[in-house]
Amino acid sequence: MTRQYELVERVLRYQPNADEALLNRAYVYAMKAHGNQKRASGAPYFSHPLEVAAILAEMRLDDATIATALLHDTIEDTDTTRGEIDALFGREIGTLVDGLTKIKKLDLVTKKAEQAENFRKLLLAISSDIRVLLVKLADRLHNMRTLEHMKPAKRKIIAEETMDIYAPLAGRMGMQWLREELEDHAFRSLNQEAYSAVVERLKILRERNQGLIDEIEAALTSKLEGAEVGSIVAGREKKPYAIWSKMERKQISLEQLSDIYAFRIVVPQVEDCYRALSVVHTTWHAVPGRFKDYISNPKQNDYQSIHTTIVGPRHQRVELQIRTERMHSVAEYGVAAHALYKDANGANGKSGVPSQDSSAYRWLRHLVGMLLDGDNPEEFLEHTKLELFQDQVFCFTPKGRLIALPRGANPIDFAYAVHTDVGNTCVGAKINGRPMPLVTELRNGDEVEIICSKAQLPPSAWQSLAVTGKARSAIRRATRDAVRAQYGKLGREILVRAFQRREKTFSEESLAAALGRLSQKTAEDVMAAVGRGELASADVVRAVFPEEKSQEPAKRRRKVKRTEEGWFGLGKVMGLKFRWPGSSGRPREEQGPISIPIRGLRGDLPVNFADGGAVPGDRIVGILNPGQGITIYPIHAEALKAFDEEPERWIDVTWDIDEDNPQRFPAKLAVTVLNEPGSLAQIASVIGEADGNIDNIKMTNRVHDYTEILIDLEVWDLKHLNDIIAGLRAKDMVSSAARASA
């Protein structure tokens, strides 16, 4: 275990003006606070924060970060309060410790919705100060180094969380050494058999290629010295998890990998990188397609290097990375490395404090910006994981702007990366001057020109074509807005007619005055709700003119007519009115197909409701099934997509309810409840008290904590159904209640 004086001396070596008293005070306070607490290994608990501080000292971070590492578990695991930390160590350290305490309470390996919300909280916690993330990553690294002392179930959870969240975050922040070590520890815990197999194969290869690394290092050093290029050459063996993941991804054997051994050539200046590259390529054969210049086009986490692969000594394929000393520090330590060069470049601030202006940190702030734009947690998690795990391609706009995208991205992703408005109005693309399909996979160096039209709206099908989370979420948002606009337009037309029947003039200002009575935020919300059938136009009129009694004219009813060829209308039993395809509603004498008033189930035309049911108040449509009759769907039913290419089967349907003889209609609810005694009885009680009739109950997913239930019931109309849903949601044991769609 690191001693107090050793830690302080290590910090003073790279930060001579560090607050030595602060470090000593934090050390003593944390040691006393944790007292006799023990870790799972049996070691004193205080050894953990001390080792976390030592890891951060290796990264040469400032004294406040080191003190935070020493104190990071005090609020969570001892009687210490935030107020005490603020009083003894200052508000800056108190804020950092508090942020880490909040992160520790998150469970990132859980069902998707909760994981998304907790991951959102994690990023919000670390976005205010990057040091919170650095301490958390060091904390996780030490926990992974001692993972074998945990129980198997807990070990699996921690390893999954590390592989899914913390290792990719470390990589996205440019901290490659940390990512590799986290991945290796997690890999060993999650797949011991595969880990052992890779390690064993590496051992055999190492014995077979004994002396190869030294031989290649010597050859490279000799050639560079001969060309008077000052350099440091170092070889390394690829980590087991990196080898395994590449074998899985490319479906190849370990012996087929060309970069098991990688060599770094570190030179003083940028121009020396290209001189070294020239020496290497004129001495050995370069492998085609294995050259990447990340100095000219840095990665989004600030990584810079020249990558090339050569056929070197012993005809061995060798991967080379050529970079400057500063590039090497950034490649290894990522955002933490910016602290080393901050003062040297004349920047203000304490030495050892990571820069908040790095590209990696700007990416983090961009993610938080997306949160504030209102994307739901699941969409946000999807976007973030895509950003974390995908490799990149670099493309250009016609004006030379560099756009970095995940590998596999297409022009749709490119358009949304340029600007959301460009993506929403995209109708085509030119790649390197040639018109190409929007699904074309982009490659490094492609120049992409997006063709736009103001009349365009993104089709919802683009969601399945886009690769980036940003594009997908923007397409979803545009689709929702378009649907809302359509409902709003329909609702406006309905309200204009309703106002005219009352001899009133419709205006959005009149709606605005009644928003409180309608429980809506804006006039647009009112019109959209009317268009969706969630709000009756008569209720809106009464809310706008509460002083007047309803004067809605009684519904006019049409007499029953004999239908063509023995088809007698379907009647009151269904409470529907049909219009045959192509009908204009005129008498049979004036036109071909006739309007069929639905009045009673006579004849041979059966009528059924779709699986999710439909109730008065829904906008509905009928689908003709030859030989089987007509199926009634709510207009928003997902199942209707299957009939988009068969318009001849669609039949206009309207409700024609006889208010003197009310009847019930089928509906289906999806309810998620906590597993508590009496939960089902409470649900049945709510439905019964609301005068609903349960036809069937089905448990679709029962786990330890909750149960998902599908309920078939009968209700009078949409308002009745919504009242039942509201009553269910008001119960504490109900997590969610919503209508199940057909």
381 closest CA partner among 738, 128, 735, 121: 121
Q: Whose CA is closest to 495, among 541, 533, 551, 550?
A: 541
- Is residue 394 within 8 A of residue 443, CB to CB? The reply is no
Sequence-distant (6+) residues with CB within 8 A of 597 are: 558, 559, 560, 561, 569, 577, 578, 656
Rounded-to-integer distance, Cα 594 and Cα 587, Å = 7
Can you say whether the dihedral through the CA atoms of 252, 167, 200, 40 is positive or negative? Answer: negative
Compute the distance between CA of residue 666 and CA of residue 693 in angstroms, rounded to an integer: 9
Alpha helix stretches (DSSP H) within 357-410: 359-372, 377-389
| Residues contacting residue 419 through CB under 8 Å, at least 6 positions apart | none
**How many C-alpha atoms does 500 have within 13 Å on its Cβ side?**
6
Contact 508, 540 (CB under 8 A): no
Token digits for 7? 């830690």
| Separation CA 161–CA 190 (nearest Å) | 11
Q: What is the CA radius of gyration of the chain?
A: 34
How many angstroms separate the first and last alpha carbons of the chain? 63
Our measurement of the distance from residue 356's CA atom to the centroid of its chain's CA atoms, rounded to an integer in Å, reads 24
User: Is 77 considered catalytic here?
Assistant: yes
Residue 570 contacts residue 605 (beta carbons within 8 Å): yes
The DSSP code for 337 is G
> Could you tell me the strand order of the sheet in which 734-739 lies?
693-702, 706-715, 665-674, 734-739
Annotated catalytic residue, options 76, 86, 534, 611: 76
Find all residues with CB under 8 Å of 292, minimum gap 6, and list them.
306, 307, 308, 444
CA–CA separation, 571 vs 563, rounded Å?
Answer: 12
Is the CB of residue 266 less than 8 Å from the CB of residue 240?
no
Contact 698, 669 (CB under 8 A): no
Q: 740 vs 379, 619, 655, 691, CA distance in Å?
A: 21, 16, 21, 20
At 42, which amino acid appears? G
Angle, helices 82-89/20-34, rounded to nearest 10 degrees: 150
Cβ 634 vs Cβ 619: under 8 Å:
yes
| Contact by Cβ (8 Å): 479, 452 | no
- Phi/psi for 634 (5° steps) reads -65, 145
Q: What are phi and psi of 191, to 5 degrees?
A: -145, 75
CA distance linking residue 53 with residue 66, whole number of Å: 5
Task: Report d(CA 671, CA 710) in Å as an integer.
Answer: 6
84 as an active site residue: the answer is no
Q: Are 545 and 511 in contact (CB under 8 A)?
A: no
Residue 646, number of CB atoms within 10 A of its CB: 10
- Please pick, among 6, 20, 77, 589, the residue that the annotation labels catalytic: 77
Q: Name the residues annotated as catalytic.
A: 76-77
